[in-house]
Amino acid sequence: MALVAKASPDFQFSVEERLIGVGDSSWIVLRTEDSNMSSYYRSSRKTFLEERSRTDGKTIKSTLLLDTITHTAVDSGDSSLPAPASQETIAKDREISLADVIERCPLASPVDLDQKQFALLSASPSSGVRIRSLYLISPNYIADLFGEQLAQVDWKLAAAMEDHHAVYLRFVKEIEEVGSVSRIVCLSPALTEQVKAHLQLPEICLQAGIFDTKDEAINSAKELKKKANRPFQVWSRMGPYLKPVWMLIDSYSSDTISDNKVDSLETETDAHFIAVPSRYFEEYTAVP
């Protein structure tokens, strides 16, 4: 039987990142790069272990763990039989210890945010990522993640996850007829605290005052805490003339409202509370 030669296929590739572990100062991902090498008979896979800073997201160390090429034999024409293949190892790391990696960055097991929580996030290539009115990640930062070669391809926020360590965002760029590239971002400890506070925030909160400075709001919250023996929070939002203001918020707003205990809270604190929507809230401040 004569074999029919095939024209070379179009180049295709994909990049997938998987979260491995998270420590106090860094986090680790496994990045896999697959390519068909514009061939029906050869494909490549490179796997990297990357450690990145939790402060600024920059790569601390990148190690090529394994670089292989898979060679597939010429199609015999018998579709009932898989074409035999062999794997060629181009490079293989023999120095990295998995025990050292997970000792420094314990294994992470994040869960996806539920639909309602995910809806709190807004993301676009022109404005970056926000949760409610709090700015999380700039579009330039995300552009740098993908590099100049993919600058003309828009990204999308594909997933958001959390565990007790941090909050993680997964971005994807789909390149038509070529493949896809994904990147995972682990938010800094400071931003993680902010996002977790936003995720716990109800749609309607009880506010007991607006202040021109954060210190004024914190001091007032401490006084109310002494009177009512319950926690209060301080949140910022944009006020008139694009000037930030700080609000004193009841930490148990949902329960206070649903249990019809607003009057009781006002009596205990000698303060007046009003219901306000949380959609414009920005920065959270814990009150000691």
* Each residue's pLDDT tens digit, 1-32: 444 455 678 889 999 999 999 999 999 999 99
pLDDT in tens, 139-192: 999 999 898 888 888 999 999 999 998 999 999 999 988 899 999 999 999 999
Which two tokens mark 106?
A: 């314990």
Tokens 């100049």 belong to residue: 148
pLDDT at 2: 47
Burial 80-99 (b: 16+ CB within 10 A, else e): eeeeeeeeeeeeeeeeeeee
Q: Where in the chain is the domain with CATH 3.30.70.1070?
A: 202-286
Tokens 């409610």 belong to residue: 132
Q: CB-based contacts of 150: which residues, under 8 Å, 6+ apart?
A: 173, 175, 181
Q: Distance from first CA to last CA of the chain, Å, rounded?
A: 82
Is the pTM above the cut of 0.95?
Answer: no
Pick the CATH number of 202-286 from 3.40.720.10, 3.40.50.1460, 3.30.70.1070, 3.30.70.1150: 3.30.70.1070
pLDDT at 1: 43
Residue ranges in the chain whose pLDDT is less than 70? 1-7, 75-83
